[in-house]
Amino acid sequence: MILESNIIEFKGMPLFQKARFRPPMDMDGAIKDFACFFYMVQGSMQSFDSRGKIDLGEKEAVLKNCNNYVQRYVAAEGSEECEAIAIYLYPELLKTIYKNEVPSFIQKEGSQTNQPNKPTPPKKLIGNQLVEQYMSNLVLYFEQPEALDEELGILKLKELMLILLKSQNHENIRKLLSDIFRPVNAVFKETIEKNMFNQLSLDQLAFICHMSLSTFKREFKKVYNESPARHIKTRRLEEAALRLLCNNDSVSAIAFDVGFQDITTFSASFSEKYATSPKNFRLTQISK
């Protein structure tokens, strides 16, 4: 549940947003024709899109480009809330900011618009003191939004660009900034494979594939020759069986890691497929 959401607009568009949530909560959305710099102030988040999953902890950030996504929020220990800040990066606004000193990542994008676009997996920024200080200063403007006029808003965006391009992940960030001005055309099967063992419903998988549920099911059957529910369940059980033999993780941990949402359903499905419980399967196979 969203408890509070504060937005600072620029020329009628959301530019800076701070929100508080009461998890557990799933939120889906779409980033189209712009990018988003997302920073967790408190709590943690899992983000799922066509490139797979990324985990974001407290005081960590990620740059997300054009895509449909599902985000899952979890409160920090001892707290019942999450808090996050989003900064929206519009291509035309960035080009306006740089005027005649257009940065190289935009120039490169413009010369490659007709080439196939292989999406760059997002990479998070961890423990960056400059980003933390930037966010602390930005919070003051949510308390006094009238203080952030157009000129100052442009300066704040330019400051963020400089911080990102001088961070330890600057090469990855530079590539991502080049990618954000083009839609991600992820291959259907690649999207499925990268999310096969994530805890997502069929509705959520269809959404990040930019499809309705009915279209998703038809496309899935065309590619995999069986229904998504059956195929995904089989793949998850096979992966669980492999992990039971290859590591010492608990049965419940393995069940969650391969995408099952509760241990009861996992155990019943596993027993149906392998005619024995997960625990006995591990014992008998290892003894052999």
| Domain containing residue 107: CATH number | 2.60.120.10
pLDDT of residue 112: 45
Do residue 159 and residue 193 come from a single domain?
Answer: no
Assign residue 198 the CATH number of its domain. Answer: 1.10.10.60
Cβ neighbours around 268 below 10 Å, total: 11
Do residue 115 and residue 196 come from a single domain?
Answer: no
Question: Which one of 113, 147, 179 terminates a domain?
Answer: 179
pLDDT of residue 101: 53
Do residue 103 and residue 29 come from a single domain?
Answer: yes
pLDDT of residue 113: 41
Amino acid at 95: K
Q: How many domains does the chain have?
A: 2
Domain that holds residue 208: 188-287
Do residue 158 and residue 225 come from a single domain?
Answer: no
Do residue 238 and residue 119 come from a single domain?
Answer: no
pLDDT in tens, the chain (288 residues): 888 999 988 877 888 999 998 988 898 888 777 788 999 999 999 999 887 888 999 999 988 876 788 999 988 888 889 999 999 888 777 767 766 454 555 554 444 444 445 555 566 777 678 889 999 999 888 888 888 888 888 889 888 888 887 777 667 667 666 665 554 555 788 889 999 999 999 999 999 988 899 999 999 999 999 999 999 999 999 999 999 999 889 999 999 999 999 999 999 999 999 999 999 999 988 776
181 close to 106: Cβ distance less than 8 angstroms: yes
Q: How far is CA 201 from the centre of its chain?
A: 16
Identify the CA nearest to 251 among candidates 279, 217, 286. 279
Query: What is the model's pTM?
Result: 0.71
pLDDT of residue 233: 96
